[in-house]
Amino acid sequence: MTAVPAQYLQATALWTQEHFDISIPVQVSADQLEEILAKRLETLISENFQQFIFLLYRVDVSEKQVKEILDTAAATGADPYKPIAALIIARQLQKIISRATYKQDHLPDDEERW
pLDDT of residue 105: 63
pTM for this predicted structure: 0.83
What is the domain partition of the chain in residue ranges?
Answer: 27-101
The 10s digit of each residue's pLDDT in 97-108 is: 898 888 766 556
The 10s digit of each residue's pLDDT in 53-87 is: 999 999 999 989 999 999 999 999 999 999 999 99
CA distances from residue 38 to 31, 34, 108, 109 in whole angstroms, order as listed = 10, 6, 43, 44
Query: Looking at this protein, which amino acid is placed at residue 23?
Result: S
